[in-house]
Every structure is written in C-alpha cells, then in structure tokens.
Amino acid sequence: MLNYSSWIEVDLKQFRKNILLIKSYIKDAFFCLCVKANAYGHGLIEIAKVAENEKVDYLAVANLMEGIKLREANIKLPILVLGTFHDDQIKDLIDYDLEITISSYFKAKLVQDYCTKYNKKCKIHLKVDTGMGRIGVKPTTAISLYKYIKDQKCFIIKGIYSHLACADQKEHPINNIQIKIFDDFLNKIKPDKSTILHIANTAYLCNFENDLKDMVRLGALPFGCYSKDLPKKFENIKSIFSVKSKVSYFKVVEKDKGISYGYSFITKAKSQIVTIPVGYGDGYSRSLSNIGSVLIRGKKHPIIGTICMDQFMVDVSNTDAYIGDEVVLIGRQKDKEITIKEIADECKTISYEILCLFNERLPRVYID
Ligand SMILES: *Cc1c(COP(=O)(O)O)cnc(C)c1O
C-alpha cells in the first residue's frame, strides 16, 4: 500500500464464512448474491469472482452496465438485472446473456418486438408489485401478463418475484399482506416447477423463519450488515469491510484556536491534534464532523471540526499518537471496534448507504 495513504480492507476469508453460514441456513434454496452498487462498496468483480468460486447460484445487479462489467470480467453465473431498461438497452441485455426483469406489458412488448425483429430469445423474471410501490406489475394485471408472456415463443421465463417494503419491521402488517398477495397470485397461475420463485431479502431472512421460496436475494447479509443489528441466529456472520489510514500530520494547538472550515470547533485547552488523509471526497460523510470518532493506538478519539474533501482532524490529547500511526475509521483495532451501524446512526442513515458512499478513490485491499 505504498502508493496509498488510506484504503479499504475487505476480508475475503470472513466473506467465504458468511456465504457458507447463509448456505447452511437457506438449505436447498438458491442463493442470489446482490452485487449492485459495486457490491455494496466491496468491489464488483472481486466479490463476484469469490461468489462464483463458492458456488453461489445467481448474481443480481441493478442495471445493464453492472451486468456488462461482470460479463466482461468473464463471470459465468446467471445474472438477474433487478431494475428496468430502455428499448435501446435490450440488444445488450440479450447479447450479454443477462436476465431481464419484466415489470409491465409495456416492457414485455418492447422486448418481444426486439426479439421478433431479430429472431432472438431472452431470459426473464416477471416482477409483481405486491406493495413495494416501486416497479412491478399490479397483481391483478399480473395474471394476464403472465399468460401473455407464456404464450410468446421469445420469452424463457426463469423466475417470478416480488419485493417487501417493510420487512425490517417485523410486526408491520403489510409484510403478511404482501406475502399473501404473492402466494395467491402464484396459486392462480400455477407456474412450471422449473420457474424460480423469489421474494426474500436480508430483512426477510432476519425476521421471518419460514418459506424462503426457491431463491433468496441477499446483499447486506453476506457482507455482514443490515439496517439494524443482526439477529442472534446470524451472530457468526460478520462485517468484512474496514476503512484504514495513517496519521499524516501532528501539531500542538493553543487554547481558543479554530479548527477547519467554518471554525465549527474551537479548542477548549491546549491540544494535540492529528490530521487524517480521508474526506468526503472518498465517501467518508461530512455529517460525521464533530460527531464521529476513529481508533488510534487502540483508543477512540473524536473528530474535531468540519470534515474536508480530503482530510479531517482528530483530537489525540490523551494519547501520544504520532505521524504514521494506523487509523481505523471503520473496523477493529486491538479490542475496540467502530461498526458500520454506529457510523450509520451518527449520519442518521442506514449501513447500506455508508457502504455505498465509499467510491473508487480508496483502493480495496483484499485480505485472504
Ligand atoms: C438490493 C435488493 C435486494 C437485496 O437486499 P438486501 O437487503 O441487501 O438483502 C433484494 N431484492 C431487490 C429487488 C433489491 O433491489
């Protein structure tokens, strides 16, 4: 890491463990790993390669471009594109052997027209909106749409799926309503045995014990996170994401001196202050200004002043921290840990967003 002063460590050993633990939990259901948004910040291609080696069954991405990147990296697993598409993307979706989400008659006809014109077939999953209110055909229309696509020669129906809106709130009444709407729909259409039915995400696995259907679509859980703390049954599934840096500057500052942009922090006493070469330009949220903390020499130290694009300051008055010391922004140091969940709480968001904020400016280092 000589060329970098700050970096992200991804623990592939633990990732493999997480995958094995999930496999044993889901038994014979297929495991679809969601690698959208750069595999939740962990690195699209590297994560997909491990997934392929570990015999995960499916990958899911949000859009065409993410699918193309996987195919160009020679990933052979089936890839489901969860989002929608425009007519000028159909050619590549088919040529790159990506499985298309059909979420309306309109979208079905776009694909059908293309396939008829160029004599192609395509693999699809029918998306039913049982209550998420995002994309997906209404359950009432879904019956006729299903019959329609079944009659067209160009469609290979690989799956039928839906997505829960409030699965992280165990007691929310919409959960069972959505599940029932999906089940009623499936009972009416009686899909072929080979059609993969799927509805479960991380929150579903955390909160519901039964009926995982034929496949689970998981992003957060394999990366050891969730919008809340993981339940006891997943206690051995751990985060694999750390953010690390090295102290780049040290100074002693007198009492009553302003630190960083806007002087949102004024020293209350003579202080020892260090600078860390990470900022919101890397994806370390500016909301952590004067709120977050980091680990240096096995202790937590507060961030002081506004986080800049490339650097921020930390008060280390209680330690003799110095230039070159390892800094942990997320992850473990000695017996202390700063979790993604803690950072998310401090930023008033969820762990998912914290992971996605980290861009390519910090290199990913894979520990194996
Ligand atoms: C992202 C996504 C998932 C995975 O959600 P997690 O909470 O990360 O497990 C599943 N299904 C759909 C449709 C998604 O967009």
Q: Which residues contact 296 (CB under 8 A, 6 or more apart)?
A: 247, 274, 314, 316, 319, 321, 325, 326, 327, 328, 333
Q: What is the pTM of this model?
A: 0.97
Q: How confident is the model at residue 263 (pLDDT cuts 50, 70, 90)?
A: very high
Return the percentage of the chain with pLDDT > 70, whole number. Answer: 100
210 pLDDT more than 90: no
For residue 36, which atom of ligand 1 is closest to its CA?
1
Q: Which amino acid is at 226?
A: Y
Which residues are annotated as catalytic?
A: 36, 261
Give the list of residues 6+ apart from residue 309 with CB closer than 8 angstroms, or none.
279, 280, 281
Mean pLDDT of the region 119-143: 98
For residues 242 and 282, is the Cβ–Cβ distance under 8 A?
Answer: no
Burial letters 47-68, b for 16+ CB under 10 A, else e = bbbbbbebebbbbbbebbebbb
For residue 1, the model assigns a pLDDT of 59
pLDDT at residue 230 greater than cutoff 70: yes
Stretch 308-327: mean pLDDT: 97
Single-letter amino acid, residue 160: I
> pLDDT digits over 331-343, tens only?
999 999 999 999 9
pLDDT tens profile 48-65: 999 999 999 999 999 999
- Tell me: the pLDDT tens digits for 17-49? 999 999 999 999 999 999 999 999 999 999 999
pLDDT-based confidence at residue 81 (cuts at 50, 70, 90): very high
| Confidence band for 209, pLDDT divided at 50, 70 and 90 | confident
Per-residue b or e along 102-130, where b marks 16 or more CB atoms closer than 10 Å to that residue's CB: bbbeebbebbbebbeeeeeebbbbbbbbb
Residue 232 DSSP one-character state: G
3-state secondary structure (DSSP) of residue 307: coil
Pocket lining: 202 vs ligand 1, CB cutoff 6 Å: yes
From 93-97, 227-231, 278-282, the region with the lowest mean pLDDT: 227-231
Residue 33 Cβ < 6 Å to ligand 1: no
For residue 260, give Cα distances in angstroms to 67, 245, 267, 285, 315. 42, 19, 11, 15, 13
Confidence of residue 288 (pLDDT cuts 50, 70, 90): very high
Q: How far apart are CA 282 and CA 295, in angstroms?
A: 18
Per-residue pLDDT at 72? 98
Closest to 56 in 3D by CA, of 9, 11, 15? 15
Cβ–Cβ contacts within 10 Å for residue 250, how many?
16
Query: How does the average pLDDT of the chain come out, rounded?
Result: 97
How far is Cα 296 from Cα 247, in angstroms, rounded to an integer? 9
Q: Is the CB of 159 under 6 A from ligand 1?
A: no
Q: How many CB atoms lie within 10 A of CB 310?
A: 16
For the residues 166-176, what does the mean pLDDT come to? Answer: 97
In the reported structure, the alpha carbon of residue 37 is separated from the centroid of ligand 1 by a whole-number distance in angstroms of 11
Separation CA 52–CA 57 (nearest Å): 8
Could you tell me if the CB of 111 is within 6 A of ligand 1?
Answer: no
* Domains and their CATH numbers in the chain: 12-222 (3.20.20.10), 241-367 (2.40.37.10)
Q: What is the C-alpha separation between 137 and 311, in angstroms, rounded?
A: 47
Q: From the CA of 352, give the closest atom in ligand 1.
A: 8
* Confidence label for 2 from pLDDT (cuts 50, 70 and 90): confident
The angle at the Cα of 347, spanning 343 to 349, to the nearest 5 degrees, equals: 95
